[in-house]
Amino acid sequence: MSGTQDRPLRADAARNRAKLLDAATAVFAARGVGVPTEEIARAAGVGVGTLFRHFPTKEALLEAVMVRRLETIAAGAARVAAESEPADALFACFRLIAEQSVGKTAFAGALAAAGIDVHTSLRGPSAAIRELLADLLHRAQRAGAVRPGLTLPDLLALLVGANAALDQLGPDAAGRGRVLEVVLTGLRPH
């Protein structure tokens, strides 16, 4: 049911898999998805062969990186959502997701540009997020805390947009706050 886990996986193999995912996340973020696979293997301290034993394709590695990211985000969002009532929870989740996905823009763009069909394995984690947000959105709207006409796709698009905006803004904390404030304010009814 959990997809990625086929067998218990030997201790060292699991360690290498993790090292590879970490290295890939870092290197892709730092140098773009165009980096040679060998670079990633080197960063992970393993040979290329090991990389390809764990991820049969460069594309598969990219997917695994994104899946892990989404899983982390989904978990964080679920935690945050549980702590407050719907409206606040929605806003908190929005902040969290928009903030956490640093650099995701470049990824997603590159993946799409490469004609990669990420959907299959991403559907799982992203479905979790989607459902959570759909629920929160619905309840926040019923509570009158969010614009009534807004749909889930709208919300997701705004999330992607906020993400892109923060990416573009860089580490300027004050600016990030103002930008998020603009979007979150806009979500409220007027």
Partner DNA sequence: CATGAATGAGCATTCATTCAT
Partner DNA sequence: TATGAATGAATGCTCATTCAT
Q: Please tell me the distance from the alpha carbon of residue 41 to that of residue 49, in angstroms, as a whole number.
A: 9
Q: What is the smallest separation between the CB atom of 161 and its own copies, expressed in angstroms?
A: 3
Q: Is 184 in the site for its own copies (CB under 8 A)?
A: yes
Phi, psi of 32 (to 5 degrees): 90, 165
Number of residues that bind DNA (CB under 7 A): 24
- 45-74: which residues touch DNA (CB under 7 A)? 45-50, 52-54, 56-59
Q: Please tell me the distance from the alpha carbon of residue 189 to that of residue 147, in angstroms, as a whole number.
A: 4
Q: Is 106 in the site for its own copies (CB under 8 A)?
A: yes
* Partner from DNA, its own copies, none binding residue 123, C-beta < 5-8 Å depending on class: none
Q: Please tell me the distance from the alpha carbon of residue 4 to that of residue 2, in angstroms, as a whole number.
A: 6
Q: Is 36 in the site for DNA (CB under 7 A)?
A: yes
Q: Is 122 in the site for its own copies (CB under 8 A)?
A: no
Q: Is 175 in the site for DNA (CB under 7 A)?
A: no
Helix, strand, coil percentages, rounded to 5, for the chain: 75, 0, 25
* Partner from DNA, its own copies, none binding residue 4, C-beta < 5-8 Å depending on class: none
The helix (run of H) or strand (run of E) holding residue 83 is none
Task: Mention every residue, 6+ apart, whose C-beta is less than 8 A from residue 63.
Answer: 116, 118, 121, 122
* Partner from DNA, its own copies, none binding residue 10, C-beta < 5-8 Å depending on class: DNA
**In the block, residue with structure tokens 């929160």:** 136
Q: Is 56 in the site for its own copies (CB under 8 A)?
A: no
Q: Please report, as ranges, the residues that interact with DNA according to CB under 7 A.
A: 10-13, 15-16, 34-38, 45-50, 52-54, 56-59
